[in-house]
Amino acid sequence: MREKERSGARPSTPPPSLEVSGLAFAYPDGHQALFGVDLRIERGERVALLGPNGAGKTTLVLHLNGVHRAGAGAVRVGGLEVAREHLQEIRRRVGIVFQDPDDQLFMPTVRDDVAFGPANFGVTEPDLSRRVADALGAVGMAAHADRSPMHLSGGQRRRVALATVLACDPEILVLDEPSTHLDPVARRELAEVLLGLDRTMLMVTHDLPYALQLCPRSVVIDGGVVVADAPTREILADPGLLAAHRLELPFGFAVS
């Protein structure tokens, strides 16, 4: 293995967690949302996806797990192309945490909800219970397994939503606006959990300081194309770029 790597043989390097090439997509009503997006995320990277409302961020996310099918171009997750034949495996590999935990948590108890994903992907007892316990442990919610999601605080709900996806053991974690509706403490706690996970991560956000805290690299998307792809600090230190794409640091913030 080692020798091969040194000699430059390609098969020994793992495929990138996410590879989007030339992705274009138009909605059935004719509205074109993506015009050829290229994006490559290596295993273990944490990338922020920034851009104004309507830039195509959510459309892109829904391509990653095959809810939308590419009009042109391709999406590969861990080397596997998003296509109808292996949709189920793609959905296991792409763990999306949606913006509103109430959309994601629908079972009567936290435990059932976290078990829902892995059970769909064919995990059975006793592995299932271990997966649930591990996922809840990873987000610090093990003590709440038997409660109803309705009776949790916003921050707790967000962490349980994260656990429901972690339990599926995804190749890449996709977070849609993870910091919305969180108080500062819950926001920080979530950041600590995310930093401790050691997983490939794509975080869609308007919260630029959060992007800086969590993601070394940022990709700006606007008008359906990637307009910038650079270290987060560089992007946030470029006022011209930010202004051109309706991005703005909160009052009093400056990144140099």
Partner 1 sequence: MAAGHAHPLYRAGDSVVHRLPAHVKIVGAFVFVLAVVATPREAFAVFGLQFLLLVGVWVAGRIPPGWLAARALIEAPFVVLAVLLPFFAVGPRVEWWGMSLSVDGLLAGWNILVKGTLGVLVSVTLAATTPLRDLVSGLSRLRVPAMVCVIATLMLRYLEVIAAEARRMRLARISRGHDPRFAWQLGATVRSVGALFLRSYERGERVHLAMLSRGYTGTMPAFTSASASTATWAAALLPAGAAVLLAVSGYWVR
Burial state string for 167-205 with b = 16 or more CB within 10 A and e = fewer than 16: bbbbbbbbbbbbbeebeeebbebbbebbeeeebbbbbbb
Q: Rule CB under 8 A: is residue 48 a binding residue for partner 1?
A: no
Residue 35 binds to partner 1 (criterion: CB under 8 A):
no
Tell the residue number behind the tokens 């080397």, with chain if given: 79
Counting contacts by CB under 8 A, is residue 78 touching partner 1? no
Separation CA 39–CA 44 (nearest Å): 15
HSE (side-chain half, CA atoms, 13 Å) at 175: 28
| Type of residue found at 162 | L
Kindly state the tokens that stand for 22. Answer: 């030339």
39 versus 174: smaller Cβ distance to partner 1 = 174
153 binds partner 1 (CB under 8 A): no
Q: Take residue 192 and report the two structure tokens written for it.
A: 């600590």
CA gap 16, 28 in Å, rounded:
31
* Shortest CB 127 distance to partner 1, Å: 13
- Residue placing its CB nearer to partner 1 in the complex, 65 or 232: 65
Q: CB of residue 195 vs partner 1: minimum separation in angstroms?
A: 23
Pick out residues in 84-143 that bind partner 1 (CB under 8 A): 88, 91-92, 94-96, 98, 100, 102-112, 115-117, 119-121, 125
Q: Are strands 80-81 and 72-77 parallel, antiparallel or unpaired?
A: antiparallel
Q: Is 179 in the site for partner 1 (CB under 8 A)?
A: no
> Is residue 17 near partner 1 by the rule CB under 8 A?
no
Q: Is 158 in the site for partner 1 (CB under 8 A)?
A: no
Contacting partner 1 (CB under 8 A), which of 37, 139, 163, 168?
168
Q: State phi, psi for 152 to the nearest 5 degrees.
A: -105, 160
* Chain positions contacting partner 1, by CB under 8 A: 62, 65, 67, 88, 91-92, 94-96, 98, 100, 102-112, 115-117, 119-121, 125, 146-151, 164-165, 168
